[in-house]
Amino acid sequence: MDEHRVHKVVLAYERGWLAFSLAMLFVFIALIAYTLVTHTAGVIPAGALERVDPAKVRVEGPFAQPGVIQTGPNQYTAYVQAFTFGYLPNPIEVPKGAEITFKITSPDVIHGFQVEGTNINVEVLPGEVSTVKYTFKKAGEYRIICNQYCGIGHQNMFGKIVVKE
């Protein structure tokens, strides 16, 4: 083989591997995209940003009468206030096996909304509505914990969810 021919062969070989690498890169990106779309791996996706006037949370809108309302055959929305230092309503009563959409906001400072024994764990910011969906498979009582430092009563800020049969 003359040098020119060797060079051509090497070039074709390199091109082949380059094409292969690009194809693999594409496959991996496609797989990641597919996984993101079809699986959440236990992570609750963040809801769309929804704003509310923190000064009016207690006087008007759905948060002024915090509570659980039925929105479908087996669907409920719980409007929850996280305030210094507690949650409203308390307890939050929901049925077992139903899809519960928690909508939580704060009329004052940043709080947390973490529910023991579940993967519910969201930040609650004044001016924003945090949305998280959950279906309780077991009846019983679940403690709500504030995991954002919010002031002098932070360590005593708890709530309760009662899941009924």
Residues near ligand CUA (CB under 6 A)? 85, 111, 146, 148-150, 154, 157
Instruction: Say how many C-beta atoms besides its own lie within 10 A of residue 25's C-beta.
Output: 10
Task: Report the alpha-carbon distance of residue 90 to residue 87 in Å, rounded.
Answer: 6
Examine the residue annotation and report whether 113 is marked as an active-site residue of this protein: no
Find the helix or strand (DSSP H, E) in which 19 lies: helix 3-38
Least separation in angstroms between residue 114's CB and ligand CUA is 10
Catalytic entry in 20, 28, 63, 85: 85
Of 83, 102, 113, 136, catalytic: 83
Q: Which lies closer to ligand CUA via its Cβ, residue 132 or residue 150?
A: 150
Answer yes or no: 26 catalytic.
no
**CB of 38 vs ligand CUA, minimal distance in Å:** 35
Contact status, residue 116 vs residue 142, Cβ threshold 8 Å: yes
Of 155, 160, 143, the C-alpha closest to 85 is 155
Active site residues: 83, 85
